[in-house]
Amino acid sequence: MSDGTPEGSAPAPAPAGPGSRSTKRDKSEKGAERQVALRVCVYVFVTHLIAGFIWLLFYLGGHADK
């Protein structure tokens, strides 16, 4: 019992190592990556939607009775 800790107290937990993913910073970075991926998917989808609408306008304009 002479290990330098007072009686009745538990030893301090070991700090998380570099391989640990349990910190708030890692969780926020993971969330940020997810938000960026979602934003990229939305931008790609909306860009294709607008391009398809413009293509449709040109198609219908080219086949319209004049």
Q: Are 47 and 54 in contact (CB under 8 A)?
A: no
What is the number of structural domains in the chain? Answer: 1
11, 5 Cβ separation under 8 angstroms: yes
Residues 23, 16: contact at Cβ < 8 Å? yes
In a domain, 10, yes or no: no
pTM for this one?
Answer: 0.53
Tell me how far apart the alpha carbons of residues 57 and 50 are, in angstroms, rounded to a whole number. Answer: 11
- Is 38 within a domain? yes
Query: Is 13 inside a domain boundary?
Result: no
Span 17-39, pLDDT tens digits: 666 555 777 888 889 999 999 99
Q: What is the span of the domain harbouring residue 62?
A: 24-66
Q: Is residue 14 part of a domain?
A: no
Residue 4: inside a domain: no
State residue 28's pLDDT score: 87
Q: What is the DSSP code string of 27-61? A: HHHHHHHHHHHHHHHHHHHHHHHHHHHHHHHHHHH
Average pLDDT of every residue of the chain: 82
